Amino acid sequence: MDDKLIRDDVLDELDFEPSIDATNIGVAVDDGVVTLTGHVSSYAEKTAAECAARRVRGVRAIAQEIEVRYPSEKTTADEEIAKRVLTVLNWDAMIPQDAVKVTVQKAWVTLSGELDWQYQKKAAEDAVRKLSGVTGVTTASRSSRKQSMYPTSRRRSRTRWPDMRKSRLRRFGSMFEMATRFHLRGRSIVGRSARPSRMQPGPLPAFNRSTIV
């Protein structure tokens, strides 16, 4: 895909994203690799700009070089940022209490510790990046389990379908066995056309009135 076309699409995507002020964002594209430069007024805008660029077709990679610049009157001390981070983590029901350790240096937040699930790690990142005063987030926390957020439901879906197939096979087997038995005895089969089951796509075999000689 042409780099100029990708650049135009990225700029359009940034302009249409309501959470971003793209006035001071520059875009360069080389062989599908997008470089974002310039500055924004919050870390949330920086991550939103990256997400918007990734949505564009043809983008292979992104070099994130956007700076976060807060107005001088809005500069927040590291101690105050640390308090805000601890507060928002404690109020988040998805994150265990005291499981995440927080370090702040020059408005850059580092999260460390060990969590049980990957979704808890993502919840911590999402909560912190929206805070005012934060210029960046580094996550050093680990998730101790590799399973998904819903391991039980997925396990059920693997075992339920084979059982359904077996049930359908037994039902079909019984119908064909009955038809064969009538055929061998030379009797007439009288009945309605079988209705399709909700669990089985396609029509079922139909048995209409016929006489076997």
Domain with CATH 3.30.1340.30 in the chain: 3-68, 75-143
Which class in CATH covers the domain with range 3-68?
alpha beta
pLDDT in tens, 117-142: 888 888 888 888 888 888 888 887 66
3-state secondary structure of 195: coil
Which helix (H) or strand (E) is 174 found in, with range? helix 151-185
pLDDT score, position 175: 53
Distance CA 105, CA 8 (A): 37
Which residue blocks in 74-146 are alpha helix, DSSP H?
A: 78-91, 118-129
3-state secondary structure of 148: coil
Cα 27 to chain center, whole Å? 26
Cβ-contact 89, 102 below 8 angstroms? yes
Work out the pLDDT band at 108, boundaries 50, 70, 90: confident
**CATH of range 75-143; options 3.40.50.9100, 3.40.50.2300, 3.30.1340.30, 3.40.605.10:** 3.30.1340.30
Q: Which amino acid is at 185?
A: R
Cβ-contact 107, 83 below 8 angstroms? no
Cα dihedral 131, 132, 136, 138, rounded to 10, equals -30
pLDDT in tens, 138-174: 887 666 655 444 444 444 444 444 554 555 555 555 5
Kindly give, in sequence order, each residue whose CB lies less than 8 Å from that of residue 194, ignoring residues fewer than 6 positions away: 175, 204, 205, 206, 207
pLDDT of 208 higher than 80: no
Distance CA 164, CA 170 (A): 10
pTM: 0.53
Q: Considering only CA atoms, which of 95, 147, 142, 154 is closest in space to residue 114?
A: 142
pLDDT greater at residue 57 or residue 150 = 57
pLDDT in tens, 61-103: 999 999 888 776 667 888 988 999 999 999 988 888 888 889 9
Distance CA 93, CA 22 (A): 34
Work out the pLDDT band at 210, boundaries 50, 70, 90: very low
pLDDT of 54 higher than 90: yes
pLDDT score, position 105: 86
Cβ-contact 14, 49 below 8 angstroms? yes
